[in-house]
Amino acid sequence: MRKLASATDGCEEMQYGNLIESQIEEFGIAYAYLVREPSFVVWIEGFGDLTEYVMEIDSEVALESPLGRGHLNIGRTILTVSNEGGYFYSNGDIKVKRNARMKIWAGFNGLNIPIFTGIVYSIKPIGSTDVVILNCKDYMGLFQEVLVEGSQEPNNTVELMVESFCDLVNIPAPNIASTEETTSIYTEPTFEEQSMLMAMEEVCNSIFYVAYFDENGTLNAVEREFSKLVDFRFDGGSITDFERLEDTEIVNDITIEYDENFFSKYEDQASIDTYGKGSRSDRTLLLNSTIVSEETTGSGTEQLDNFLEALKFTSSGNASSVDCLHIRMRKDDAYGYITAAIYSDSSGLPDTLLATSLLKASDDLSVDFTWEVFYFSKPVEISPSTSYWVVIDTSLVSSGTVYVQINDTGASAKHAYYSETWHTEDNKQALHRIRGSSQAQRVSEDTIRFYKDPRERIRITAPAVPHLQLLDEVLVDIRLREIRGHYVIEGRRHIIAPDKYVTIDTLRKVG
């Protein structure tokens, strides 16, 4: 007999629905038999128990959609049922209401546990036969159908937003732990018009979480790295098929847009050196950010006729970093490259170099003044209420001229140029906008940590294992394939008929 889940040795119990302890023991015995008798129950709102009509069940859930990283999955079930007597469909008349609630239990010898909860969203007859297909989704399908837009106040934390989403579609309260990430207050959280599913993806991406509906129809939201160790093992004697899949994708260079044209960038050079660059870009405008400094009013013009010219700024009282900065610029037949570097201040002049932005092609500048974006390969740490300099370097501009727009009144020693030494000028303040986002930085670092190394992925087909769940961490020991280690379940599929029951699990190696 295979070992059942245990709460000992750091393991947590697998799911057994409403079975009591003695029934769980019977379930374990039935599961361990070489010849087993599968059983199931299917319930649909308005019909009740219709198990006798069901010919086959094909049910599948996963953490991510086929679109991959950052996209939540909609679980699905295909029920092949007998339509004898036009019980479900007759002459174009669909007798199951759209989005009728449904639930499936499965197991052995009448000991059944829940494996899927959701809605029926379509019915399709199969030719002229007395067979129809009931297409079902888990409750994430409801999220796909509801639009959200505008301010989410007073639901201004991840926890409150997720709870409000569940309320809107009349489903049970979510299972989401109160953590620093889920209870941090967002500044006026707002969505562009979009499906609730896309909004939920943005919420999860803002804290590097993943959300999925479990077998009871409860929404779970957890850290993407979360797994639950259970006392279960797949070995060569307990499976019927095995397949190696492509390793997890590599992301070692990520850019997150957290405000319009403001970006946080993060990379892992060791991973880049080993595997090559795997770049990704995300847009998550839900993230909080800090205005470090800005001067946006003024119509004067300053020609950058020195290779190094600088603007002075004083960081805001809550500033801790700079991800990105904007400078109002234009060109006149300029070719070559520009950088913007951040320096410390000493006695009112640029002093120590802290970081240099990525190169910007001057020939990409407009002929009219526009906001040009400079961002850094990693956020620049700064102190609040402290003076710094942004030094604009045009030494790599081979021809033409670059200009910055300035406020030309009232500024005292906020512009400087280098000619053998630094010189300051009054009544010149380059127009600029500087921001930082600690939330974007955290998400960037979390993403790189998770994706910087490829992880082995496998698919296992086995005689039914209905009591496992998404994110269960199991031991895999298939010696003939030289596979051994801990793997976390990221996708589950159940294929059930009166005379068969198999499960197909997609797993990622974690140790």
The CATH number assigned to the domain holding 108 equals 2.30.300
What pLDDT score was predicted for residue 5?
Answer: 34
- Structural domain contains residue 163: yes
**Structural tokens at position 352:** 């120590």
With CA atoms as reference, report the closest residue to 233 among 508, 406, 4, 467.
Answer: 4
Rounded distance between C-alpha atoms, residue 275 and residue 413, angstroms:
47
Residues 354 and 366 in one domain: yes
Query: Per-residue pLDDT tens for 112-171?
Result: 999 999 999 999 988 777 999 999 999 999 999 999 999 999 999 999 999 999 999 999
Check residues 511 and 467 and name the one with the higher pLDDT. Answer: 467
Residues 215 and 192 in one domain: yes
Contact between 112 and 18 under an 8 Å Cβ cutoff? The reply is no
Residues 423 and 404 in one domain: yes
Query: Per-residue pLDDT tens for 211-238?
Result: 999 999 999 999 999 999 999 999 988 8
What pLDDT score was predicted for residue 3?
Answer: 31
What pLDDT score was predicted for residue 34?
Answer: 67
- Structural domain contains residue 335: yes
- Structural domain contains residue 15: no
Residues 46 and 103 in one domain: yes
Residues 114 and 148 in one domain: no
With CA atoms as reference, report the closest residue to 405 among 332, 334, 328.
Answer: 328
Q: Domains in the chain: how many in total?
A: 4
Average pLDDT over residues 404-412: 93
Residues 178 and 200 in one domain: yes
Residues 158 and 184 in one domain: yes
Query: Per-residue pLDDT tens for 24-36?
Result: 999 988 888 767 7
Average pLDDT over residues 61-78: 95
| Greatest mean pLDDT among 1-10, 17-26, 85-94 | 17-26
Residue 2 has pLDDT above 60, yes or no: no
Residues 207 and 236 in one domain: no
Query: Per-residue pLDDT tens for 294-321?
Result: 999 999 999 999 999 999 999 999 999 9
Residue 243 has pLDDT above 80, yes or no: yes
Residue 12 has pLDDT above 90, yes or no: no
Contact between 77 and 58 under an 8 Å Cβ cutoff? The reply is yes
What pLDDT score was predicted for residue 76?
Answer: 98
Residues 165 and 209 in one domain: yes
**b/e burial code for range 160-194 (CB count within 10 A of at least 16 → b):** bbbbebbeebebeebebeeeebbeeebeebebeee
What pLDDT score was predicted for residue 349?
Answer: 97
Rounded distance between C-alpha atoms, residue 43 and residue 59, angstroms:
14
The last residue of one of the domains, among 207, 222, 237, is: 222
Predicted TM-score (pTM) of the model is 0.89
Query: Per-residue pLDDT tens for 166-212?
Result: 999 999 999 999 999 999 999 999 999 999 999 999 999 999 999 99
Residues 238 and 302 in one domain: no
Q: List Cβ neighbours of 224 (8 Å cut-off, separation of 6 or more).
A: 208, 209, 210, 446, 450
- Structural domain contains residue 62: no
Query: Per-residue pLDDT tens for 247-276?
Result: 999 999 999 999 999 999 999 999 999 999
Q: Band of the pLDDT at 7, cuts 50, 70, 90?
A: very low
Compute the mean pLDDT over every residue in the chain, rounded to the nearest whole number: 93
Residues 322 and 371 in one domain: yes
What pLDDT score was predicted for residue 127?
Answer: 76
- Structural domain contains residue 321: yes
CATH code of the domain in which 215 resides: 3.55.50.10
What pLDDT score was predicted for residue 10?
Answer: 56
* Residue whose pair of structure tokens reads 């301010």 in the numeric block: 151
Residues 302 and 391 in one domain: yes
CATH code of the domain in which 420 resides: 2.60.120
What pLDDT score was predicted for residue 8?
Answer: 33
- Structural domain contains residue 65: no
**Structural tokens at position 502:** 């198999």
What pLDDT score was predicted for residue 410?
Answer: 87
What pLDDT score was predicted for residue 210?
Answer: 97
- Structural domain contains residue 7: no
Please give the residue range of the domain that contains residue 347: 290-436
- Structural domain contains residue 204: yes
Average pLDDT over residues 481-490: 93
